[in-house]
Chains A and B, each alone.
Chain A
Amino acid sequence: MTEEQIKLAIENPKMSARDVKVFYGEKQAIKGVSIDVGMDHVTAFIGPSGCGKSTFLRTLNRMNDTVASARVEGEITLDGENIYAPSMDVVQLRARVGMVFQKPNPFPKSIYENIAYGPRIHGLAAGKADMDVIVEKSLRRAGLWDEVKDRLHDSGTALSGGQQQRLCIGRAIAVEPEVILMDEPCSALDPIATAKIEELIHELRGRYAIVIVTHNMQQAARVSQRTAFFHLGDLVEYGVTSDIFTNPRQERTKDYITGRYG
């Protein structure tokens, strides 16, 4: 992939990766990926299973630090600041770069507590009233307020799968992140819940830089403006979503999009 292509995608990157390599022990999972992620777009990562989408996504908020065998090389910056620099505080980084996981994973606490937990540990609320405001705002943004406003103290795990996933999005939003990473957020959900999440992603666009991993190409086409195609640890092609889907430059991208493998 050319330098020109990376730049083409984004003028003013929120996050950029340069020649990122990830190893699990001896095994290399990411083989030198460079990419810019912008504030104004939803960026989709697509590619066959096992190609390294999740691995790369998790380098962006250093969740790979929790995997003992994982090792990251290269440079990743957030607003021009290297997130792997010793001066970078991982805890703060993860508040700034939030994450939504494949399987909804609300805490086994009340809906209110699920949202309030992040702001509380980061000291974002000045008091109970302030916290109430944050909780309401976050739930509204996550499109969940009307459904749960009467049962804020019920357990978050009692919600339906789709509601749980929106609760998790609300939980990430509550700490005012700049970037939200979503790793196949709809793969455990039914079509109606999926549609709601996609709608939500539309609404959140522009306020946060959003990166979404998906194995569902229609979903990538529906929600994203930029698409990156990964294959066997390589970033094969990156560009405007409509271009990728209608006019892929690489043979491998074309094969994948036309369903020849995957």
Chain B
Amino acid sequence: MTAVRNPTDWKSEAMRKRIAGRYAAERRFKFAGLFAVVLSASFLAFLLVTMMGNGLRGFTRTEIALKVDFPASPLLLDPKAITDEALANANLPMVTGTVAKTVLGEKADDLLSPTAWISIRDAIKADPMILSRTATISVPASTGLDLAAKSKGSPEMEAEVARLKQQGILSTGFNMGFLTASDGTDPTQVGIWGAFKGSLLTMLVTLILSFPVGVATALYLEEYAAKNWWTDIIEVSINNLAAVPSIIFGLLGLSIFLNLAHLPRSAALVGGMTLALMTMPVIVIAGRNAIKSVPPSIRDAALGIGASPVQVVFQHVLPLALPGILTGTIIGMARALGETAPLLMIGMRAFIATPPGGITDPATVLPVQIFLWSDEVSKGFVEKTSAAIIVLLAFLLAMNGLAIYLRNKFETRW
């Protein structure tokens, strides 16, 4: 009855081939994995190198040490009566141009930034007594000269750089103004502070609105809501909401917050509210998953010694789910931080030269600022765009770092 089977020959040719094939498959898999890792790492490295190459120059600026002989200049100012009004009436831009021509020659207008007079005004404000002598004041160079000094300018400017360097009045240094100023018309004068503050305020509004609502929704759906078709519909809607293209949220914000509620245009408040709509579903989904992963045995334990449902939720479930909730929140916030499209819809693309004082002031945000600068024709904006990208990336890295820190801090060790 039993069929006669030969004992397995583990050393046969077929077996040997099978073993060789298995090893080959493993090697191929390992190689493919390695290739994928190297590829993505090199993309990242490429991104970083180009960003840094361009962007770091954006953090520096070239200055000319301008020797101003105030008594000889056409400036009519009384050192004892320096007021903002007097300074405004003194026609400093014209005076600066005249002085520059005497010091730097006929082409001075091309060498100095159109905002050079601001440095002179600030110097006079700081010490009115310089009006009675010759003072050396550092003023920003023009974009052309700036680019040439950082070695990629036009031939004429390269020549000017060589000439000024010989005179020893040209210097390139860290541009503090880039971190403290806001948007402007001239690339030598623009800064990132306005957009940074706008982003900060917008994120704050987003967090304050989306975190409590998102967590409360997640808790309610997981802990209290009966499982019926009604909650199924809510669940499906929330999942779909998380996948809706962001520009749609912009349209929603436009029609509800601006057209219907008449909230201020271009403001961090409306931007934050719009982004909160987008971030909330992400928090709800992450929150529900985190709450679901709290072991039921912990709920049983707490209920079993007479904890009320609310105590179970707030004293056991929520603390255990918190790391997951925070991680989800920061992922959602990071996505919101990088959003441009919905904010363009609600008017945050306006040219805004002063940093917002509050959430209802007109503001712009980092990604929109990057978008606006990348659209500028002036060559000087190229490196400013890259520099702004570096600031945005640093902001994102800081947020992710915070996420990791918070997760480790609240993580429960079992």
Interface on A for B, CB 8 Å cutoff?
A: 61, 63, 66, 68, 91-95, 98-101, 103, 105-108, 117-118, 121-122, 155, 157, 168, 171-172, 174-175
**A107 & B308 in contact (Cβ 8 Å cutoff):** no
**A175 & B306 in contact (Cβ 8 Å cutoff):** yes
User: Could you list 28 A-B pairs, sorted by A, with CB under 8 Å?
Assistant: A63-B303, A66-B300, A66-B303, A92-B306, A94-B305, A94-B306, A95-B305, A99-B300, A99-B304, A101-B297, A101-B301, A105-B297, A107-B298, A107-B302, A107-B316, A108-B320, A108-B413, A117-B315, A121-B306, A121-B307, A121-B308, A121-B311, A155-B413, A157-B413, A157-B414, A168-B301, A171-B301, A172-B305
Is residue B412 contacting chain A, with contact meaning CB distance below 8 A? yes
Which residue of B has the minimal Cβ distance to A96? B306
**A105 & B301 in contact (Cβ 8 Å cutoff):** yes
Chain B residues contacting A93 (CB-CB under 8 Å) are 306
**A118 & B305 in contact (Cβ 8 Å cutoff):** yes
**A122 & B306 in contact (Cβ 8 Å cutoff):** yes
Chain A residues contacting B80 (CB-CB under 8 Å) are none
Interface on B for A, CB 8 Å cutoff?
A: 226-227, 295, 297-308, 311, 315-316, 320, 412-414
Further 8 A-B residue pairs, CB within 8 A, beyond A63-B303, A66-B299, A121-B305: A94-B305, A100-B304, A103-B297, A106-B301, A107-B302, A107-B316, A155-B413, A168-B301
Which residue of A has the minimal Cβ distance to B299? A66
Which residue of A has the minimal Cβ distance to B320? A108
**B311 & A172 in contact (Cβ 8 Å cutoff):** no
Known: A101-B297, A108-B413, A155-B413. A94 touches B304 (CB 8 A): yes
Interface centre among A68, A98, A105 (most CB of B within 10 A): A105
The 5 nearest A-B residue pairs measured at CB: A95-B306, A105-B297, A99-B304, A118-B305, A94-B306
Q: How far is the CB of A64 from chain B (nearest CB, A)?
A: 11
Q: How far is the CB of A16 from chain B (nearest CB, A)?
A: 21
Q: How far is the CB of B228 from chain A (nearest CB, A)?
A: 10
Which residue of B has the minimal Cβ distance to A109? B412
Chain A residues contacting B304 (CB-CB under 8 Å) are 61, 63, 94, 98-101, 172
Q: How far is the CA of A215 from the CA of B296 in the complex (A)?
A: 23
Q: How far is the CB of B220 from chain A (nearest CB, A)?
A: 16
Known: A105-B298, A108-B413, A108-B414. A171 touches B305 (CB 8 A): yes
Chain A residues contacting B306 (CB-CB under 8 Å) are 91-95, 118, 121-122, 175
Chain B residues contacting A105 (CB-CB under 8 Å) are 295, 297-298, 300-301
Q: How far is the CA of A98 from the CA of B306 in the complex (A)?
A: 8
Q: How far is the CB of A184 from chain B (nearest CB, A)?
A: 14
Chain B residues contacting A172 (CB-CB under 8 Å) are 304-305
Which residue of A has the minimal Cβ distance to B306? A95
Q: How far is the CB of A68 from chain B (nearest CB, A)?
A: 7
Q: How far is the CB of A101 from chain B (nearest CB, A)?
A: 6
Chain A residues contacting B414 (CB-CB under 8 Å) are 108, 157
Chain B residues contacting A101 (CB-CB under 8 Å) are 297, 300-301, 304
Chain B residues contacting A100 (CB-CB under 8 Å) are 304
Q: How far is the CB of A109 from chain B (nearest CB, A)?
A: 9
Q: How far is the CB of A165 from chain B (nearest CB, A)?
A: 12
Chain A residues contacting B303 (CB-CB under 8 Å) are 63, 66, 94
Chain A residues contacting B297 (CB-CB under 8 Å) are 101, 103, 105
Q: How far is the CA of A172 from the CA of B303 in the complex (A)?
A: 11
Q: How far is the CA of A68 from the CA of B304 in the complex (A)?
A: 17
Q: How far is the CA of A117 from the CA of B311 in the complex (A)?
A: 11
Q: How far is the CB of B317 from chain A (nearest CB, A)?
A: 12
Q: How far is the CA of A93 from the CA of B306 in the complex (A)?
A: 7
Q: How far is the CA of A122 from the CA of B305 in the complex (A)?
A: 9
Chain A residues contacting B413 (CB-CB under 8 Å) are 108, 155, 157
Interface centre among B227, B300, B301, B412 (most CB of A within 10 A): B301
Which residue of B has the minimal Cβ distance to A92? B306
Q: How far is the CA of A45 from the CA of B58 in the complex (A)?
A: 78
Chain A residues contacting B301 (CB-CB under 8 Å) are 101, 105-107, 168, 171
Chain B residues contacting A117 (CB-CB under 8 Å) are 302, 305, 307, 315
Q: How far is the CA of A155 from the CA of B315 in the complex (A)?
A: 17
Chain A residues contacting B300 (CB-CB under 8 Å) are 63, 66, 99, 101, 105
Which residue of B has the minimal Cβ distance to A61? B304
Q: How far is the CA of A63 from the CA of B302 in the complex (A)?
A: 11
